[in-house]
Structures are given as structure tokens and as C-alpha cells.
Amino acid sequence: MRILTKIGRIDIAAAVLLCALSAAIGLLAQTNLTGVWILRVPRTDGTFNESFFELKQDGEAIAGTMLGNRETPIADGSFKDGKLHFVVRVGAAGKQQRETAYDGVLDGGKLQMTQTVPGRDPVKSVAERSTREAANPARLPVPDLRDVRDNGLARTPPMGWNSWNLFAGRVDDKTVRGIADAMVSSGMRDAGYVYVNIDDTWEGARDADGNVTGNLKFPDMKGLADYVHSKGLKIGIYSSPGPKTCAGYEGSYGHEAQDAKTYAAWGFDYLKYDWCSASRMYKDEDMQAVYQKMGDALLASGRPVVFSLCQYGRQDVWKWGPQVGGNLWRTTGDISDRWQSMDMLGFRQLDIATYSQPGHVNDPDMLEIGNGGMNGDEYRTHMSLWSMLSAALLAGNDIRNMSEETKSILMNREVIGIDQDPGVRPVKTVSQQGTAVVLAKELSGGAVAIGLFNRGDQPAEISVNWAAAGLTRAIQARDLWKHEAAAAAGPSFTATVPRHGVVLLRASAR
């Protein structure tokens, strides 16, 4: 009996030891943070901003990357006494970088996180274990290349308004309705501005059937579209061929046909389709096929929808934009409301101007006129240059509250007439001497638009030879900003042009 009792005690002790070892191993497994984690930060519109981190733990050291369009390494990582810390720095090394610190406490297999950006209030959220597939879904096959049928829309460059430049993520149903009202009351609609385009951040979650929905800011997309239509206007929407949009909302990846049908059912007339997170799954060489997929889907939806490609001019989009059903395609990065940005993006278009044609035009991004970052002369240059380029005229300001000067620029019908000329003929460089540039564009009926642009920082005298601009006979000319006749005697014309300013003429043979 004593021997059995002793053996029994040994067995019990061994069992206790095994349990302790098992618990220790389990605890160790729980505190090993190696793997992919998803951090979901709630937004006020009922959606979540999702970030994925792939962590690698070695003792108390934490390394890894922030997953996304680009994998960004984390820095200063540690996990000690149940507390996690790391930093993500975004931006080119050696330049000013945006730094975000992440601090977390492991609790029940989840990380209670605090996200801190200098100068902002800390943001609290929860991180849970996830997978790489959730961060970067499997690549879907792309269709074989072929030409998408022309939709017959936008024979002249689209005109309207877009929410992003001024409102960005603050856009909501009330704002869009107010803009539609102002498009009518201000005279913008009658001047030709007909599209009211909602950019990013309208998207909610998909329902049980996979249909995309609006978020709390946009509770009734069909009702909103009906309201805009009731004003004699058209309405546009935004998405991405990737799983997420640029602002991290729901994209159309794997739901292209379904989303096109949804937009049609709601009554939308315009789609801006922004590359963004598509780069997680596709290479740049896939762009044409990826955009072709949505071009086909829009045609199959049964509703006429203007198709606006937005992939920043990569892969020489101007060479294949029409083949995927595109009515316009971005040829640049994002514009900002400052002279240097507008000047650089606008004049960079001259080399590819020949690719614009009726129904299919280059898009150097939206207008900044009236947003306050440039003066009147610079905004008149903006309007003149975009019109000479046959670019879309999509206002980006708050048209509910416009100064008289802003109205006079955006609603100058003589300048709009240059942009909307049905020939959509390419602008040509007549001469360029330093910062003085003279451009010419043939118009229907034999007239020629001539722009004298001063890109310099001082007023300058700029001349144009009529014959060089394409007018070989005696001519008559009109100054489109002064709304008066311009001196046309002799073989040339000379004007003093203010810094960053323009003189825009419409000239023709007598």
C-alpha cells in the first residue's frame, strides 16, 4: 500500500507538472505576436478604416511590415511585459516623414491599441489576428484584350463638379443636394456644368448578397440620384478596381458587374474608377484588361454611364483609353490648389494633346478655381489652359458660396466654347521663349483659339504671328477675358501679359 500510495503521489505530481508546462506553453503561444493582425479604427460614418500588420517576434524584439499598396517596414518594435510598441514612418527617407506610433496591450488574444500621430488626439481601437489573404486577396484572372464598344457619350469634354478637391472625406448627402441646388441657382447648369460627381468615402459595407451600400453619410443613394436628376442635372459616383479605394473604403474588386448594375439601378450617369489598391493584385501591365472589365460591365448594365479612368497616366493610358470604353483618362498625379502644381500638370499635356478626340479626352485632373490657393490671373490661366487642352471642366470649389470673380471665370461662356468645340482638335505650340508660351487650337468654322501664356514671375510682352498660328489672311480677333475686340492690324499681335497670366483670343479670317 505504501508503495502504491507513493506511486500515486508521483503520478499526481507529474500530472500537475504537465498541466503547468501545458499552461506555460499555451501562455507562450498566446504572447507570441508573430502573424498578420488587422487593426480596425471606427469612422463616424459607420465604416472602419482597416490596416494590416505582419509582425515577427523574436524574444522582446518586434519587426515586420504594414501591408498595403506598398509594404512599409515598422520600426522601434518591442513586446515586453504584455505591452507592444512600434512605429510606422511614411515618406521618402531623408525627407519629412509622417510618423505614427502604435501601442498595444494583449488582452484575451486581442490587442487593445492606441494610435498616436504628433499633433493629433490619440485614437483607440482593437487589433485581431487575420491573414495575408485578407490584406491582399488572391489575384483574379483578367480578360483577354479586345476593344470595348464606344458608349457614344461625352462627345465634348464633360463639365460639372467633383467633391474631392475641397470636401474630400467630408462630403455627404446634404452637401451634394446643396451643390445641385447651387448648380441651378448660380447659373452653372445653364453654362454647361451638368455632372454632380461624388468622389471617395461614400461607400458602406456590402450586404449579405454582396451588393455595395452607402454609409451613414449617404443613406439613400437612389433618392439622392433622383434629387439631382430633378434639377436637370446628372450624377456621378466613384470606385476602384482594387479591394479598397484610395481612402480605404469598399472597392469593386471581384464585384465589377454587380457594382455596375447597382450604380445603374440607383440612376448614376458617371463613374470615376481609381486604380489605388488594385496594385496589390495586379501589375501595371494588367491595367488595360482590368479597366476593360469595368468598361464591359458598364455597357452591360443597360444605363449610359460616362467612364472616367483614373490611374495617373501610367502605361501611356492615352494610347488605349478608348479601347476600354474610357471617355476620359487621367494623365497626371493629383492637382493641388497652387500655381506650381497647376502650371506643371497643365503644360505637361502638350506632348500628348493629339490623343484627345470627340468622346475620348486626356484628363489633367479637376479644377481648383475658387478654392483660394491662387489669384485671379492664375485661375484664368487654369481655365484657359484646360479649355485649350479640351480637358474636362469639373469644378472643385464650393459653388454654394462663390465670389463674383470666381463666377466670372467658371462661367465665361466664350472660354467654355473653346473647351466645348465639337471638333476637339489638339492644341499646338506656336512658340516658346523662356516662360512665354503661345498655343493655338483650330476651332470649328475656321476660327482659331490663341493663348498667350506668361509662366514667369514678372509681367511680359508676348507676341504671336498670325500666320504661325494658322491664319494666313487678314483677321479679326476677340479678347475672351476682356470680352472686347483685340487689335488685329498687321501680321502679328502683341500684349502685355501679367505674371502667371494669360491673354486668350478667338481669331478668324475676315
CA torsion through residues 120, 126, 131, 136, sign = negative
Residue with cell 446628372: 234
Question: Rounded to the nearest 5°, which phi and psi values hold at 464?
Answer: -135, 135
Contacts of 444 (CB under 8 A, 6+ apart): 421, 422, 423
Rounded Cα–Cα distance for residues 366 and 382 (Å): 10
The answer to whether the CB of 301 falls within 8 A of the CB of 260 is yes
Question: Directed axis angle between helix 221-230 and helix 256-266, to 10°?
Answer: 50
> What distances in angstroms separate CA 48 from CA 200, 244, 248, 276, 433, one per listed residue?
14, 12, 9, 18, 53
Rg, C-alpha atoms of the chain: 29
Report the 3 state secondary structure along 390-423: CCCEEECCCCCCCCHHHHHHHCCHHHHHHHCCCC
DSSP-derived letter for residue 323 is G
Residue 2 is placed in which grid cell? 505504501
Q: Which of 274, 343, 365, 421 is catalytic?
A: 274
Candidates 103, 181, 286, 334; catalytic one: 334
DSSP letter at 390 equals: T
**Ramachandran bin of 204, using left for φ above 0, alpha for ψ from -120 to 50, beta for the remaining angles:** beta
> What residue has cell string 474631392?
164
Distance in angstroms (rounded) separating the CA atoms of residues 174 and 197: 14
Give the pairing type, strands 159-162 and 123-130. unpaired
Cα 380–410–435 angle (5° rounding)? 15
From the number of C-beta atoms within 10 Å of its C-beta (0-12, 13-18, 19+), residue 438 rates as buried
For cell 488587422, what's the residue?
A: 38
- Pairing label, strands 448-454, 428-433: unpaired
Tell me if residue 273 falls in helix, strand or coil: strand
Q: Are 100 and 115 in contact (CB under 8 A)?
A: yes
Burial 187-208, CB ≥16 within 10 A → b, else e: ebbebbbbbbbbbbbbbbeeee
- As a whole number of angstroms, the distance between CA 345 and CA 347 comes to 6
CA angle 161, 180, 206 (to 5 degrees): 80
Instruction: Report which residue type is found at 335.
Output: I
In 3D, which of 355, 367, 356 has the Cα closest to residue 416?
367
For residue 19, the one-letter residue type is C
Closest C-alpha to 269, from 326, 215, 195:
195
User: For this structure, is 269 an active site residue?
Assistant: no
Active site residue 274: yes
Catalytic residue ranges: 274, 334
